[in-house]
Amino acid sequence: MLHLLVVEDSVELADNLAEILEGAGFSTGVVHSGEQALAAVFDEHFDAIVSDLRLPHMSGVELLQKLRAAGQSTPLVLMSAFADERAQAAARGLGAVAVLVKPFDCAALVTLLSSLLDPTRASG
């Protein structure tokens, strides 16, 4: 089963996203900050990360930078309440797969992740 990490400081949204992704056949881990996300990624394997752009202390872009600097190439989808072009461009430049503006179509997120992840690379 493909394993996804949800990074979202809104507890309710994190919970809903996990529920949606699990309903779509993924397994999930949920954290509420960038620091927790880094720790989780070094602790276990995730096939993709779905992260909020604005997080306390460490932004989604900073999380992405730290992951790439550490040699982690896990695909990352950003979610944002801000359609801030500069942050979006920076995120794409660093290899973010997509930036979804909240509130986004949840079915589109599921489709995006399903098409992004090759089932043969599943972590089991």
The binding site for other proteins (CB under 8 A) comprises: 10, 12-13, 16-17, 19-20, 23, 79, 81-83, 85, 101-107
Question: How many residues does the structure list for the chain?
Answer: 124
Instruction: Compute CA 74 distance to the chain's CA centroid, rounded to the nearest angstrom.
Output: 9
Q: What is the DSSP letter of 121?
A: G
CB closer to other proteins out of 20 and 58: 20
Fill in the amino acid letter for 26: F
Closer CB to other proteins, 44 or 105, in the complex: 105
The CB-of-20 to other proteins minimum distance in angstroms stands at: 6
Nearer to other proteins, 42 or 82 (CB): 82
CB of 71 to other proteins, least distance (A): 32
Residue in this structure with the two tokens 């993709």, named with its chain if needed: 48
Least separation in angstroms between residue 91's CB and other proteins is 16
In single-letter form, the type of residue at position 62 comes to: E
Angle at 14 between CA 49 and CA 16, to 5 degrees: 115
